[in-house]
Structure 1
């Protein structure tokens, strides 16, 4: 992962365009950013090779996958030693419900984004991941009612 990268206005314009729709043909991208099609293709290849574009993905509607419930959970740990942090993170990586997780500063140690089918599924998750881990001091759950910005 690059710590920093030197990007010009064309790179920024291309990145904005492919973040909105990564299936936009190079011909259209070229028109939008003011470059030739071959220059756009070269830049996109470089942005991928340098790790600036880290993935080309399809965002699937969660309800179709049976996971309409979106929860954000603030997790506080008892101790933040390296081994305990690593163990907690390993456990999160093994859970398909965890769509994203951040190690943060402030009132919590982690912020998790979860996708589940029901509150019963979340209750089972909390028992397996939080209640059964003696290093989890507390967790606070935020239930998303509706996404208002983003995909």
Structure 2
């Protein structure tokens, strides 16, 4: 998304609706925001081309998909040189358990969102990814007890 993108109140309403259901028909979106169907379609197309909407995705039920455990891991690295950061990110991106990665400020360097079938698979992940990497200084594990929906999208 560029700095020159303008989002008005109609766009904000549309974004809120498509974050809840991106398969909602344009006719229903138009009724909900008070625009014509063609105006809604033009706005959605524009927001996709400008990078406001970056993906249309299906949100799956992790338990049914065999990913019953959700874990947030806070990772600190020994060195934060560009080369070291890039190497860590490349390695993490190759792991299917990792659903999201954030490079953050503060006491840790990265926050990872992982979804796995069980804790035994997380133990394997820890061994293969963290313990095998001499640049991983430390990590903290936060296991989600249950997900509480906010309705704000993925």
In the other structure, the counterpart of 1:96 is 96
Q: Does 1:48 align with 2:48?
A: yes
In the other structure, the counterpart of 1:143 is 143
Q: Deviation above 6 Å: which 4+ runs of structure 1? A: none
Q: Which runs of 5+ in 2 are unaligned?
A: none
TM-score by length of 2: 0.95
Q: Does 1:86 align with 2:86?
A: yes
In the other structure, the counterpart of 2:112 is 112
Aligned to 2:63, what secondary structure does the other structure show? coil
Aligned to 1:85, what secondary structure does the other structure show? helix
In the other structure, the counterpart of 1:133 is 133
Q: CA RMSD in A?
A: 1.1
TM-score by length of 1: 0.96
Paired residues in the alignment total 151
Pairwise CA distance, 1:107: 1.1
Distance 1:145 1:130, change over 3 A: same
Q: Which runs of 5+ in 1 are unaligned?
A: none
d(CA) in 2 for partners of 1:106 and 1:88?
A: 18
Question: Per-residue CA shift, 1:49-106, capped at 9, x if unaligned?
Answer: 1111111111110111111100000000000001000000000100000000100011
d(CA) in 1 for partners of 2:142 and 2:86?
A: 24
Pairwise CA distance, 1:150: 3.7
Aligned to 1:100, what secondary structure does the other structure show? strand
In the other structure, the counterpart of 1:33 is 33
